[in-house]
Structure 1
Amino acid sequence: MAPATSGAASTPHIELKTLGHRIRHHRLARGYTLDALGDAVGVAGSQLSLIENGKREPKLTLLQKIAEATGVSVTDLISSEPPNRRAALEIELERAQQSPSFAQLSIPAIKVTKGISDDTLESILGLHNELQRRDREANATPEEARRANTELRRKMRALNNYLPDIEDLAEKQLAAAGHQAGALTHRTVSIMAEQLGFDLIYVNDLPRSTRSITDLENGRIYLPPASIPGGHGLRSMALQAMAHRLLGHQPPTSYADFLQQRLEINYYAACCLIPQGNGVRFLQQAKKDRNIAVEDFRDAFGVTHEAASMRMTNLMTEHLGMPLHFLRVGGQGQIERVYENDALPLPQDVTGAVEGQIVCQKFSARNAFEQQNRTTEHYQYTDTPGGTFWCATQTGTHDGGDFSITVGVPFDDAKFWRGRETPSRAVSTCPDETCCRRPSADITERWRGRAWPSARVHTHIFSPLPRGNFPGVSESDVFEFLEKHAES
């Protein structure tokens, strides 16, 4: 099999409005009229006027002549800083009047003239800023979450999803509790809690909006019943609760802060369940044997398939020099969790967010749902605009429906993985909509105007999140719970 590749490039851009203001500023400082400067640089004054008003981009040769005539450098002319306060106000007002919030008002924009004072401009801008603030407030929860999550994902990609300080902290805590090898037991987790001054308490009445609650006053960590299905996840919940204390977290001051804390406690729990030293040795041997498999990694440490897959993203690039991607995809094709540092092309919304987007139908993360035998991993090569990738996908089911877990690598690294011999291969041209998002012309012609689907409304999108210091958590429920259990 041979890989497929592609590439793209982008070019920087000059802020024409700011450039125009800077040229006007230096022209007036030298006492030139438009016509006088035009004569000096060899263009008509009317052409300079268009440039100063940000309506035309000058060639570099003309910029060099303007810079020479006004006694400044080209670098000074193309600076992104407005030349003075007045110019900054005019530029800011123009941008505000181009915003969607203003466009929805259907009122004419104000044309700035010399007769409008700076104070008047500042007052008008104040109204625009308040209008945009109210719009942001209305959309804060979903959009803030997407933007903050996107920024965090980019940050972790730059770090290869590897946080050495938390790795070292976990190794230290495990050693103190006497853990050396094998799956981390519930007993060892209890010892780790005791060393921090906490008892693990399993209760049936945790508020629905919480996974655990830590009573700092009485030294208790409340968890769901140990007998719940998938109770092995209780080790992770307990470790996450401890991590807040070990990492010195304070109540989050923003959604970005909340997401950062959540990432760190999840990372700490993963480091304890699959310690770095043992995990890296296991993966290095599997690579040497050309037999890397998520299921082996999972079984060796007694964790879920998803936990093993995510832990690979922490260790494999840093210690095995192997970029990779991880996808958790819901039964309708929506991306629920994602990490990639191997250039896998993924769908994005206008904010750059990936979560919630529909992944290509040709990806194994989706077509694995169609396999007759869903108890084993599905292997596939996929040719994409970003290259060829090999993937291993495991499907599962929970209360919310079907989901799939995928780990994949670029074509050249497939030789180290079990399942590389698969003949299964697909071609994805997404984000080109003709790939899988748009029906063929003949089918469209056949059914246009002859069908009327009734959409399934996802009622959760209408459900308000509880308000409080911790996003999505009802503080009243938490405090009532603690009050009830404090007496027991």
Structure 2
Amino acid sequence: MSSADVIEDADALTVGRRIRQLRTARGMTLEDLASAVDRAPSQLSMIENGRREPKLSLLQTIARALGTTIDALLAGEPLDERSTMEIALERAMKGQTFQTLGIAPFRIAKTLPTDVLKVMLALHGEIERLRDERAATPEEARRANVELRDLMRTQDNYFADLEQQAADILAAVKHPGGPLTQRIASEIAAHLGFTLHYAPDLPQTTRSVADIANGRLYLSSRVPTKSDARTAVLQALSSRILGHGEPRSYAEFLRQRVETNYLTGALLIPEAHVVPVLQDAKARRAISIEDLRDAYSVSYETAAHRFTNLATRHLGIPVHFLKVHESGTITKAYENDDVNFPTDRLGAIEGQMCCRRWTSRVVFDVEDRFNPYYQYTDTGNGTYWCTARVEASSEGMHSVSVGVRFDDTRWFVGRDTPNRGVSKHSVEACCRRAPAELEERWRENSWPNVKTPRTLLATLPTGSFPGVDTTDVYEFLEAHAPR
């Protein structure tokens, strides 16, 4: 075995600290030891600090000068507390945490108090713990989704505190009720101390950027013609209304996102105004997500979400909601009507393949995109009726559907549809396996290249605000901040 192998096995840093510990215990200065082994003090200093691996012959000479053996220098006995902490801090300085924080390695001087070393190591350990906690694994992300959906189900997707905050804001700007105009959205911004600014260079990973220090809210000046300018403004302001801070975990980030979207919907479709409208529609047996969308000039998805907030609490109707990518992947889901969605072993729905027989998949094959599509689906858990639409997004086409149990269909427009489907995905393979003859012909003769929608990758969190390039955000704010 070479000398390098011997030193590496014992750890050069530990060997160096053991030499220093023995030298100081014998009352020798660095210069004394350097003179005894006929080496420069600077060379020995680098050895003691673990920056240079001594040859085996030099190590033997050092051992003799210290009155010990080479085995003692390479032994596994623990060092004293001070040396142990110095080694731990040296290793930490070479690690990713120090590099990420931009802290350059520094020399640990003898005069550095031991208590300071303890504090620095404790802080490093806490930062490491927080990094591990916030850098959630895909499994943790799915768990967070499951926990949040369980909370939503427990409350019938209705959050009274968020409804009240929306009502308070609307009262503060004297909103008369009904659809929220862009002017009212601007007045809400002014009420919260923000002015609106449109920029062509808004960071690609953001919908808006708030300059809290200067009370400026930046939005893209390149908003697509079909986009709703109110939504981007209200989503940004909702985070300020709710007092959100930097999320400490993915679960908190996810909860903040749900709260923001909920409050935005409650501002666009105020509870006090829309509940009588929905109750009247139920009395007439004419509930329609399309009518809700058109009455408040919102997207179909916003109208569908808002209906799930209010349907059970105010109309006594349990519901389910699905958003499905054109690939068949479920990206959003909610239910309190016991519909049996596909789940993984953790209970997560997001990321699962939606059954081909479900309304949410069938609607992609319907040529008529002007009118809503309705369908009854027989399942192992009863019959459900759904209304669905296909909408375009930056990640491709998505279907958005709202459904209810068969007995509740009588309250809805579209209940007379002849469209029927049968889904057995909850009890058997159903559509998850290709027909036997096709599988036999193509299983060994095909190799698809998977196209994953970015909305799924967004569930794999990195950083404080998953998916956001903070460098771009800070550079944008620096460039646009008032001088």
Give the structure-1-normalised TM-score: 0.68
Which residue matches 1:289? 284
SS at match of 1:476: helix
Pairwise CA distance, 1:182 = 2.7
Match of 1:194 among 180, 187, 190: 190
> Larger Rg: 1 or 2?
2
Aligned in 2, Cα 1:463/1:235: closer, same or farther, shift over 3 Å? closer
Residues 175-196 of structure 1, C-alpha deviations (whole Å, 9 max, x = no match)? 2212113321111111111111
Pairwise CA distance, 1:464 = 12
Which residue matches 1:93? none
Contact 2:385 / 2:409 at 8 angstroms: preserved in 1? yes
Which residue matches 2:226? 230
Which residue matches 2:316? 321
Aligned in 2, Cα 1:411/1:365: closer, same or farther, shift over 3 Å? same
Which residue matches 1:417? 412
The residue type paired with residue 177 of structure 1 is V
Residues 144-197 of structure 1, C-alpha deviations (whole Å, 9 max, x = no match)? 221111111111111101111110111111122121133211111111111111
Pairwise CA distance, 1:251 = 1.2
Matched, 1:477 2:477: no
Distance 1:288 1:302 in 2: 23
Residues 226-261 of structure 1, C-alpha deviations (whole Å, 9 max, x = no match)? 7433331x2122112222222222211111111111
Match of 1:455 among 446, 449, 459: 449
Which residue matches 1:407? 402
The residue type paired with residue 250 of structure 1 is G
Pairwise CA distance, 1:440 = 3.4
Distance 2:478 2:416 in 1: 59
The residue type paired with residue 389 of structure 2 is Q
Aligned in 2, Cα 1:337/1:465: closer, same or farther, shift over 3 Å? closer
Contact 1:200 / 1:221 at 8 angstroms: preserved in 2? yes
Which residue matches 1:75? none
Matched, 1:351 2:346: yes
Contact 2:133 / 2:249 at 8 angstroms: preserved in 1? no
Contact 1:363 / 1:428 at 8 angstroms: preserved in 2? yes
Which residue matches 2:269? 274
Matched, 1:142 2:138: yes
The residue type paired with residue 303 of structure 1 is V
Pairwise CA distance, 1:450 = 6.0
Matched, 1:151 2:151: no
Which residue matches 1:59? none
SS at match of 2:151: helix
Distance 1:163 1:196 in 2: 22
Contact 1:467 / 1:474 at 8 angstroms: preserved in 2? no
After TM superposition, list the pairs within 5 Å mapping 1:46-125 onto structure 2: none
SS at match of 1:140: coil
After TM superposition, list the pairs within 5 Å mapping 1:23-34 onto structure 2: none
Unmatched segments (≥5 aa) in structure 1: 1-132
Distance 1:309 1:362 in 2: 21
SS at match of 2:150: helix
The residue type paired with residue 350 of structure 1 is R
Residues 363-389 of structure 1, C-alpha deviations (whole Å, 9 max, x = no match)? 010011111212211111111112110
Aligned in 2, Cα 1:289/1:207: closer, same or farther, shift over 3 Å? same
SS at match of 1:210: coil
Which residue matches 1:342? 337
Aligned in 2, Cα 1:457/1:316: closer, same or farther, shift over 3 Å? closer
Distance 2:369 2:227 in 1: 23
The residue type paired with residue 311 of structure 1 is R
Contact 1:466 / 1:473 at 8 angstroms: preserved in 2? no
Aligned in 2, Cα 1:225/1:387: closer, same or farther, shift over 3 Å? same
Aligned in 2, Cα 1:248/1:477: closer, same or farther, shift over 3 Å? same
Which residue matches 2:307? 312
Distance 1:457 1:306 in 2: 23
Which residue matches 1:180? 176
* Identity %, equivalent residues: 46
Match of 1:205 among 201, 204, 207: 201
Matched, 1:168 2:164: yes
CA-atom RMSD in angstroms? 2.4
Aligned in 2, Cα 1:193/1:423: closer, same or farther, shift over 3 Å? same
Distance 2:299 2:170 in 1: 20
Pairwise CA distance, 1:137 = 8.2
Distance 2:188 2:346 in 1: 41
Distance 2:410 2:339 in 1: 18
Contact 2:135 / 2:461 at 8 angstroms: preserved in 1? no
Pairwise CA distance, 1:326 = 0.8
Contact 1:375 / 1:395 at 8 angstroms: preserved in 2? no
Which residue matches 2:390? 395
Residues 389-409 of structure 1, C-alpha deviations (whole Å, 9 max, x = no match)? 011111123342221110110
Which residue matches 1:27? none
Aligned in 2, Cα 1:464/1:393: closer, same or farther, shift over 3 Å? closer
SS at match of 1:222: strand
Pairwise CA distance, 1:428 = 0.7
SS at match of 2:245: coil
Give the structure-2-normalised TM-score: 0.69
**Structure 1 runs of 4+ off > 6 angstroms?**
136-139, 461-466
Contact 1:330 / 1:403 at 8 angstroms: preserved in 2? yes
Distance 1:366 1:464 in 2: 22
Aligned in 2, Cα 1:482/1:347: closer, same or farther, shift over 3 Å? same
